[in-house]
Chain A
């Protein structure tokens, strides 16, 4: 029974995308009755997986102004103005993207190059400044590279530990990439490799990171999805396989 569910789903070999999904889902473990704000496909699949399993009290949105249950039942109204208020209340854990992120978790989505005259204009600071000072903010990076994990971000949008000055509600629980999971559980709150996804080596992570990571002598593998989680991901939460388009095998 170990490899195959009753209904015949092949549970052999979780894919890289599926490790990423559970690593993202775990960000909301124990979060209680708060809003999960996932940005990107894999964090969205992760948030729904979390609600299906170990975090049933999570609030989810339809991406517009409506709070919905797992079956799409409307249970609330959350237009942008109320969403901003909810951020201020802290009752939300957002998982944002990052065009650049540095060792202290400073994040950039504004532009690349000199802000006065950017080489590449991106989205803009959006709500990253307010998010990082008010509610827990995690990051999802689908393609881990030295272009993203940089020594210094060009524009600080999301605030990192070295610039937060101990702000009372500032917390960056984790960074998940296609290579591993990272946290800031170090004395100086710089980024640490918390786990590597199976099939990835520590050296590979170091190679793809543009700054010195804290790496323990023994880095655990990212936890395995349980058979029940794999079945939910494959059959219920993401039957169309959108996750594989964000992170390949």
Chain B
């Protein structure tokens, strides 16, 4: 009598986790797997035009094999775009995360006044939408309108720095907050003990706070790497203002151009898969390298 009841209960318990998972899985399938699948499908096809290409039936969609991928990988402009983004990303990562760390440590130091106000004012730029922020900086960069005088902020040599500046301005506050929140969770006794041992504020920062922050720093770095690989808003918004940003300045801009300007959805799909692959390699590669530091120690 007892055993079947027990069996039924076990059976029920086996189904329940899946039931709880179902909404998430359904959403994942609908909004992630399906679009990705469709993108892969598109990336394997191309338009075939016959004759003048006018009128009905002159344009058909055919299977293209890996031709779009070959074209994407073989396109020098795409790799030139990666190089530009690499330079831009290095600037943004170092400046933004460096500033975020310095600000977080300073705010966390013992006797800072107006900490809350400072924190909000550093975080505030993050609340400004990217397009608005870039437009605002764009006005500041335009020589004849700029209150900084006639400097060539948008010239070929400086435009990368000018763009990085917008990203740093907008992103520092968010990253600072992540690090700062982590710092506030550290028991104050650690610092007290260190002070009793004769450590200065600088020693505490370097030897206690930063090591504790390592997992958070890794997290913000991964976020930032993914974001810089996807840089799109800043160059696209600044492009109409200057001659120095091409329509394929960053890899994502090339995808946008292929899909919506020159109307080749298939190439755009293939290129976006290549970009997705590279961002995966970059972010997981980074995680792998720092794995022990991040998750090995506690």
Chains A and B belong together in one complex:
no
| Residues on B facing A (Cβ under 8 Å) | none
